[in-house]
Structure 1
């Protein structure tokens, strides 16, 4: 994507009616969440979060956690 593409998207979004902007905001939130979920699942499957999980479990075993 080029800078001019991004500017065109920004311009189009800025011209949306309040109703269409609300619809776009809802769509984008769902789109963004789905992308985040896919990336998270990819990272988990690749073991990128194993060290963090192990640290958290170790902290729990050592009593270094507090109840919320």
Structure 2
């Protein structure tokens, strides 16, 4: 197996993408937690829409993270 500098650099870049995607996935969980705390504190008519946007964001980030793991 020819393991050159270009392959090593590609592996490092892939690992950085996976780590960054994982951190962004954790951030999306923090966003969901903040939305639930906000819903308990601040009563507004936009609660369902904000919650829906938070969950859509979480699902999109999950898809991106799975893409980084499986296909990159």
TM-score normalised over the length of structure 2 = 0.41
Decide which structure has greater helix share. Answer: 2
TM-score normalised over the length of structure 1 = 0.43
